[in-house]
Structure 1
């Protein structure tokens, strides 16, 4: 059954005549078109029981007007989104319209409610659930994105020298990824020494590399809209015994987590076991989740974190990224991209994981 017909079956569950799709990753998933920015919503879909409409602003309409399976509708300053939906509702005799509640703000909902003489029904994760299981083509795209990220890691090792700043290294990695792939999946994180203990750190042009430092790098690429995600730590100069022990603990924690990453397990279960191991070694557990799904979005379902009881299944792609963060000293995080298969986890990241010393 194709994607649109799967959605139509879900419409029966919600008792709706149509679904209004405004999440840009979901639009990309259904249209297989690149270039949408989730922060600037320019393309929308209305999927009815018989037809599918693609509504795009004039700035992007030419890119989408020939999208297979969709009736194109151009939006302008004179012909706005609400008017287009009203016209579709009249043509299709719609009485109820489901909308993606995670992508429609309260003010947008009120505006739609005032302008549309339709019963509006909030829906949740209809398309996101379809995106959980990756097709062979999606997996290949993620593999190619991961390959670029692996190459970027090798490139990073060649750039490392005394005096380079966090920001300069991050910008060089961003340029490399943009040059060799569709785009960056997110702005690279580069953190030296104690800054590596801040998981979502912003690289600084004031922090320069000195001998006997550690460098945490977190980066990702895109290929045909699909993302990759990789984190590694490099030692510039011989690491201290304390740092080596920290690194080996995180590496063992990740290996333990990978051994548990099989169909039928839950993210909550694997996350808990990994935290327990780190705490048993005398370290504080990481404050972020153990991992997350990766696909059209860099962070998507399924989640490997406390309270995530979704069953992991074959052909899901997730990260596994335990970490230990010691404020004022260092943070170690090792992150790999993993495909869940019938035979167990398959690493899509190829960058070496043994401690790297330059």
Structure 2
């Protein structure tokens, strides 16, 4: 399973003398972002997972111990974990202790204030340092098993979208599209990538506006309207996809309107510029800047979000962000792109009188270029004409 790969990957990221502490309790109700990656276990009592370059130790309550996967040296406890911890610190002799807190990356910020204070007492006199650097890289650089899982999620999402394109009828509302996609998710034992109550995002016609809400408006689909959908599926193995597609329902005998085609071509031109810049060693903000400049040069307004984000177990999977140097993104856009990372590339624009053109593809960074995990939407997809 992937957690064995991830544990070995995490250990290789640590410097000699570094000790990475993943602390959790009641993790089903208060999930710890790194724990599912490294051990795929839920714990009840105070638990400490200790990683060095050469050792992996799980200090957990006795009744949680059997659920911890192979690869961890087990140290179960009953009344108090501090004695076991001190024994292990005596063996490991750490020079630097890392824990999961971050001011800018929510998926590297796994501690509550209360648990952080307990760690300060348990690990005194050691200072506690942020594990953001290794954890961000661990989340973003995918192992072979993770890459295969994401490919599968992309393929399933694309099949669902094509099924929707073939099934949709004039008169469907956004709620009808949502219902259809939710039924497809249930058929494969999965769930929408960002939750039943917020995915997919469906926008029909000129009055809809992009939003992370489940669907906006009740306008029925009619000839001369754009349909935009932002959709992904999380499969039972936990990995997900995130794709946007744009469709047009033409009037009888109509070609794609020129203004719709121009907007679509501009969006693709901008995504292509971002794709060209998405190479190992590039800073996240540089990739976004290439796409942003291209879209503006073609006469369209800037998109008010990042060009792309990491994709994996979470739809927004942490690590480097392909976004502008805005305060809200902090240091996440300063990170460098690495081989093996999976990103979305997404942007869009309004077309007056028709609706929203939005595109999103899923890609993997390779040393010599990109691998497109999704089938590029190179043209506006037409919906079947069944009514005039």
TM range (shorter): 0.7 to 0.9
Q: Displacement, 1:199? A: 4.1
Indicate the larger mover: 40-49 or 189-198.
40-49
**CA distance 1:291–1:111, shift in 2 (3 Å):** same
Comparing 216-225 with 199-208, which one deviates more in the overlay?
Answer: 199-208
- CA contact 1:133–1:315 (8 Å) conserved in 2: yes
Q: Please, which of 97, 108, 116 is the counterpart of residue 109 of structure 1? A: 116
| Aligned residue number for residue 131 of structure 2 | 124
Aligned to 2:250: 237
2-structure distance, mates of 1:52, 1:43: 14
Matched, 1:304 2:300: no
Give the whole-Å Cα distance in 2 for the aligned partners of 1:42 and 1:243.
57
- Which residue number corresponds to residue 225 of structure 1? 238
CA deviation after TM superposition for structure 1 residue 249, in Å: 1.2
Correspondence list, 1:36-75, <5 A? 45-49=48-52, 50-53=55-58, 55=60, 61=64, 65-70=67-72
Instruction: Look up the match of 1:89.
Output: 85
Distance (Å, rounded) in 2 between the aligned partners of 1:48 and 1:260: 35
For structure 2, the 5+ residue unaligned runs are 25-30, 102-108, 326-332, 384-388
CA distance in 2, matches of 1:107, 1:211: 57
Aligned residue in 1 for 2:144: 136
The answer to whether residue 163 in structure 2 is matched with residue 161 in structure 1 is: no
- Secondary structure at 2:214 match in 1: coil
Distance, in Å, in 1 between the alignment partners of 2:15 and 2:356 is: 49
* Distance across 2 between alignment mates of 1:41 and 1:333: 43
Aligned equivalent of 1:261: 278
CA distance in 1, matches of 2:117, 2:149: 39
Structure 1 residue runs without a partner (length 5+)? none
Alignment match, 1:214: 226
- Cα deviations by residue, 1:260-285 (Å, 9 ceiling, x for unpaired): 32233222112112111111122111
Do the aligned partners of 2:206 and 2:225 also contact (CA within 8 Å) in 1? no
Residue 316 (structure 1) aligns with: 341
Aligned to 1:191: 203
Q: 1:151 & 1:315 partners in 2: Cα distance? A: 25
Shift in CA distance, 6/145, structure 1 to aligned 2, threshold 3 Å? closer
| Residue pair 2:278, 2:365 contacting (<8 A) in 1 also | yes
Distance 2:44 2:201 in 1: 26
Cα deviation, 1:91-131, whole Å, max 9, x if unaligned, reads: 42469853201121334434554687664514232222123
Residues 172-218 of structure 1: per-residue CA shift (max 9 Å, x gap): 21221232254332221111124553242431473432332211111
Per-residue CA shift, 1:20-66, capped at 9, x if unaligned? 245644222212x38x7xxx9999552155442164797xx59x615
Q: Alpha-carbon deviation of 1:171?
A: 2.6
Contact 1:134-1:316 at 8 Å conserved across structures: yes
Using the TM superposition, name which of 316-325 and 147-156 deviates more: 316-325
State which of 331, 334, 342 in structure 1 corresponds to 2:356.
331
Partner of 2:295: 278
TM-score (norm 1): 0.81
Instruction: Give the alignment's TM-score, normalised by structure 2.
Output: 0.75
Equivalent pair of 1:302/1:318 in contact (CA under 8 Å):
no
Of 212-221 and 250-259, the range deviating more from structure 2 = 250-259
The change in CA–CA distance for 1:259 and 1:213 in structure 2 (over 3 A counts) is same
RMSD: 3.5
Instruction: Indicate the residue corresponding to 2:28 in structure 1.
Output: none
